[in-house]
Structure formats: structure tokens, C-alpha cells
Amino acid sequence: MSWSKPLPPLSALVLSALLSTAAAADAPKVAVSIQPIHSLVAAVMSSVSDPHLLVKGYGSPHAYQMRPSEAAALYQADLVFWIGVPLENFLIKPLRNVGPPARAVALLDIEGLPLLENRDSGVRPGHQHKGHGVQGLAPLPQARDPHAWLSPIIARRMVEAIASELARADPRNGDTYRRNARALEERIGILATELTARLAPVRQAPFIMFHDAFQYFEQAFGLQSIGAMHLEPTRAPGAARVQALRNAIRDHGVRCVFREPQFQSALVDTLVEKTDARVAVLDPLGADFPPGADAWFQMMTANAETIAKCLSE
């Protein structure tokens, strides 16, 4: 058969599969710390290869212990994407052993990223957001709020950086990474518009967080958190803080207290006891969804739906 003639459908499929296999064989081995970032990386790498997820299920990056298989995947990787300090301190020591030609990319260190500072736990004076981001002037690493993937604007910036790093490590597939990134950024923008409309009716409704992980989400969609039980979820709040939050629930008509599936705490039940507040679950990691390119979108949509439902009259 002459190659100048159109290929029969079966032959075309075989050729496509061979080209795809060759691209995957040449692609770098990529490891990613947490599911939301893994989702963005997987979408950028679509049709080339699949990244390896380190923190699976309901594990929390705040206090994680890597299994031997996860450590092996980390050390075998050519490229590692992680959020950075102070979220994933468990990776600091292992990443010291990941050296050239392998590369580790802390996405919080993207230049000019509009990061927010950590807020104090407890009831916030005036119920105002204490965090503030300044273009080009990020908070110090230990003071910055690391949950930045919950901002659609920052997620799009992360996608740009991910595509750039992948193209640098794998120039042969660079055009594919950049094309996938452009489509992904557009999809993120569409979802942000949809969620803005979905959450608009509850923008003034006050709520309290178990762990203050949703500051970026709140700022993106204009929501009104008036306090949190924890800044660092591994440290129990004192009795005075719990009582102050209980008073705030009654005084300000707080409709919901949101907890996370990664942290079980009887204190949430104590907090809402004999009040009208409801309890609902928000997950900043999207652990209920299968890892892959859709997980970030499923997580953001599910959290928005939970907030809208719980805060509705």
C-alpha cells in the first residue's frame, strides 16, 4: 500500500495509537502532591501521559506520612508539582533528594501570584477578610494561606506555569501542553462565571468554618465567613474560642458551620448545639471524586452547591 493514498480506518487507528504510545514513552514521569493540582496537571498532559498522585483519598497534606510506594514514585519522577510551604511540609525533606535533572515546582512560588495571608482563627472583628493579596508581593512562606487552588484566577495562573514547566521538560510535546492549557483556562473561566451566578443569592449569609481553608474561594465569590475554629487543623481550639464562636452563631444568625471530611471533630456538634446553625461538609481536596482532569471542576462545583444549599433560607 502506498503511503500517498488515504489510510484505511483501521490502519489510521493503529498509526494514531503508535504515535500516542511514542509520545507517552518520551514524556517525563510526573508526580503531583494533592488531587486538585493533580487534576490540573492531568488536564494539561491529556493525550500525552498521566501524572502520579501522591496524597490519595482523605489524606490531609497538613500531616501526611508517605507510603513506600509514594516515596518511590516521587524519587522516580522527572518533574514534581507541589503547592509548597506551609501546606506540604511533609515533602520538604524528601524533595531535598530530588535533584537535577529532576525538578520540583512549588506552585505557591509562581512569581507575582496574588496570595493571601493566613487569617486569625476565632471570630473575626467586623467579619472582614483579614487576608490580602498584593500582586508581586506575596506573604512570607509560613504566613501565606496555601489553599490557593480554590481561586479560579490563581488556578488559571497555575495552569500556565504547569504547561510551561512541562514544555520545558518535554519540548517534543510542548505544543500539546500549551494547547491543552489554553482549553483548560477557558473551561475554568466558564465555571467561575457559572459558580458566581449560583452563589450570588447567598453572598451576604454568614457562616463559620471548622478549618480556615476556603479564604480564596470566599474572596473569589464574595462570601461571608465570620470565623473559624482552626487555622491549623491539627491543633485543638481552646474553650474560650469555642464559646466566642457559639456566641457569634446566635448574635449574627449564622446559618451554617462547615467542616471537612479530612478532619472529624466532635467540637463541631458542640459548636452548633442548641443553635439554629446547620452542619455541612466542604472538601478543599475533592477526595470523593476519582483522580483525573475533571476532579478540580467536580470539587469546585460540589463545594459551591453545598454552600448554596446550606446557606439558603
* pLDDT tens profile 200-214: 999 999 999 988 999
Read off the pLDDT band of 25 (50, 70, 90): low
What's the rounded mean pLDDT across residues 31-48? 98
Read off the pLDDT band of 270 (50, 70, 90): confident
pLDDT value at 216 more than 80? yes
**What pLDDT score was predicted for residue 64?**
79
Place of cell 508581593: 137
**What pLDDT score was predicted for residue 146?**
95
pTM of the shown model: 0.86
Give the best-scoring range by mean pLDDT among 7-11, 273-277, 295-299: 295-299
The helix (H) or strand (E) run that includes residue 168 is helix 152-169
State the cell numbers at 265: 471533630
Q: CA-CA distance, 311 to 299, in Å (whole number)?
A: 18
CA of residue 171 relative to chain centroid, distance: 27
**What sign does the dihedral 176-182-186-189 (CA atoms) show?**
positive
Q: CA-CA distance, 88 to 244, in Å (whole number)?
A: 30
Q: CA-CA distance, 248 to 181, in Å (whole number)?
A: 43
Q: CA-CA distance, 203 to 198, in Å (whole number)?
A: 10
State the cell numbers at 104: 520540583
pLDDT value at 99 more than 90? no
Contacts of 118 (CB under 8 A, 6+ apart): 131, 139, 143, 144, 145, 212, 231
What amino acid occupies position 133? G
Beta strands in the chain (DSSP E): 30-32, 52-53, 79-82, 103-106, 122-123, 206-211, 224-230, 256-259, 278-281
The superfamily in CATH containing domain 202-311 is: Nitrogenase molybdenum iron protein domain (3.40.50.1980)
**What pLDDT score was predicted for residue 24?**
59
What's the rounded mean pLDDT across residues 250-263? 90
> 116-125: per-residue pLDDT in tens?
999 887 787 7
Q: CA-CA distance, 60 to 65, in Å (whole number)?
A: 9
Asked if the domains 9-195 and 202-311 are classified in one and the same CATH topology, the answer is: yes
Backbone φ/ψ region at 222: left (φ over 0), alpha (ψ -120 to 50), beta:
left
Cβ contact 170:144 at 8 Å: no
**What pLDDT score was predicted for residue 71?**
87
Cβ contact 262:60 at 8 Å: yes
The least confident of 23-37, 73-87, 185-199 is: 23-37
Read off the pLDDT band of 264 (50, 70, 90): low
pLDDT value at 310 more than 90? yes
What's the rounded mean pLDDT across residues 177-196? 98
Q: How many residues does the chain have?
A: 313
Name the residue ranges covered by the structural domains of the chain: 9-195, 202-311
Match domain 9-195 to its CATH number in 1.10.287.10, 3.30.2130.30, 3.40.50.1980, 1.10.340.30: 3.40.50.1980
Q: CA-CA distance, 166 to 20, in Å (whole number)?
A: 17
User: For residues 1 and 115, which has the higher predicted lDDT (pLDDT)?
Assistant: 115
